[in-house]
Amino acid sequence: MVLNDVNEALEVLRTKTGKTPEIGLILGSGLGELADHIADSDAVPYHDLPHFPEPTVAGHKGRFVLGKLKGKSVIAMQGRYHHYEGYSLRQVAFPVAVMKAAGIKTLLVTNAAGGINLNFAPGDLMLITDHINMLDGSPLIGPNDDAFGPRFPDMSGAYTPALIEQAEDVASRAGIHLQKGVYLATSGPQYETPAEIRMMRTLGADAVGMSTVPEVIAAAHAGLSVLGISCITNMASGILDQPLSHHEVIETAERVKEHFTQLVEGIIGQL
């Protein structure tokens, strides 16, 4: 990331809100409403901030919401950037650098994903234990600013084990069933072919989606603790005898929203 761009965005953010967040939230498909639970909130549209591109996907609001959730100071991204919209991976990850500069120590990332693991079912929530990057590059390609992190960052603990344990604890006390697994990121926007899904399963992926990995790479680079949760909205291509649709993804995300929200809020309360 370019430190100057991040600082310029931060400077404007600080003129819009005096809040100092400790936890960042990236809200994926269907979870955007969680931002409405944030108390005493300030909303800052991305288009008010320098170096933030305009979002293009309908239904994605495209703003930061800062305030209190379960007594914690949070900054939530209501709407995120996707590589398939035409944004570079650096652009997709840029808000993470801004949230880090704003003060966050922990990043909680959510997404919708297709289930590759045959033991999964639509509606399952999966804690991400690791990822496979099948995007066409990295958000860290280009000059490295040592103020953010090292040129060659370690990714072996990108999904913070202690946070995974905490999330499992919260889920078991709330009676929420959780899966765990490896998230594989592809650019999309087309869904995968059945042959691609068989390949991904062979490679060790449990779920596939079109987001999250650029943001997590940037977060790990910047030394943030990360927790990732996927909502398995559908079984991946070729598993069931039916075509995939965005409609199904939205419908399932809507169906499990309550559990998902309860889990995320429970985890934030524990942080």
Could you list the active site residues? 29, 60, 82, 84-85, 112, 210-211, 234, 246
Q: Among 16-24, 48-56, 119-127, 206-214, which window interacts with ligand HPA (CB under 6 A)?
A: 206-214
Q: Binding of ligand HPA at residue 114 (CB under 6 A)?
A: yes
Which of 106, 142, 55 is closest to 216 using CA atoms? 106
Q: Residue 244 interacts with ligand HPA (CB under 6 A)? A: yes
Q: Which stretch binds ligand HPA (CB under 6 A): 110-118, 128-136, 144-152, 260-268?
A: 110-118
Question: Is residue 212 involved in binding ligand HPA (CB under 6 A)?
Answer: no
CB atoms within 10 A of CB 126: 23
Tell me the Ramachandran region of residue 235: left when phi exceeds 0, alpha when psi lies from -120 to 50, beta otherwise. beta
Nearer to ligand HPA, 64 or 191 (CB): 191
Q: Stretches 49-57, 60-68, 169-177, 208-216: which one binds ligand HPA (CB under 6 A)?
A: 208-216
SS3 260: helix
Both tokens of 75, joined, read 């900054």
Of 66, 74, 249, 267, the one binding ligand HPA (CB under 6 A) is 249
Element (H, E) at 128: strand 125-133
Question: Interface with ligand HPA includes 112 (CB under 6 A)?
Answer: yes
| 185 touches 209 (CB < 8 A) | yes
Q: Does the footprint of ligand HPA cover residue 208 (CB under 6 A)?
A: yes
Query: Is 209 a residue that touches ligand HPA (CB under 6 A)?
Result: yes
158 within 8 A of 220, measured Cβ to Cβ = yes
Is 234 a binding residue for ligand HPA by CB under 6 A? The answer is yes
DSSP label at residue 235? E
Q: How far is the CB of 270 from ligand HPA (least distance, A)?
A: 28
> How many chain residues bind ligand HPA (CB under 6 A)?
13
First to last CA, the chain: 27
Tally of helices (H runs) and strands (E runs) in the chain: 6, 9
Q: Is 236 in the site for ligand HPA (CB under 6 A)?
A: yes
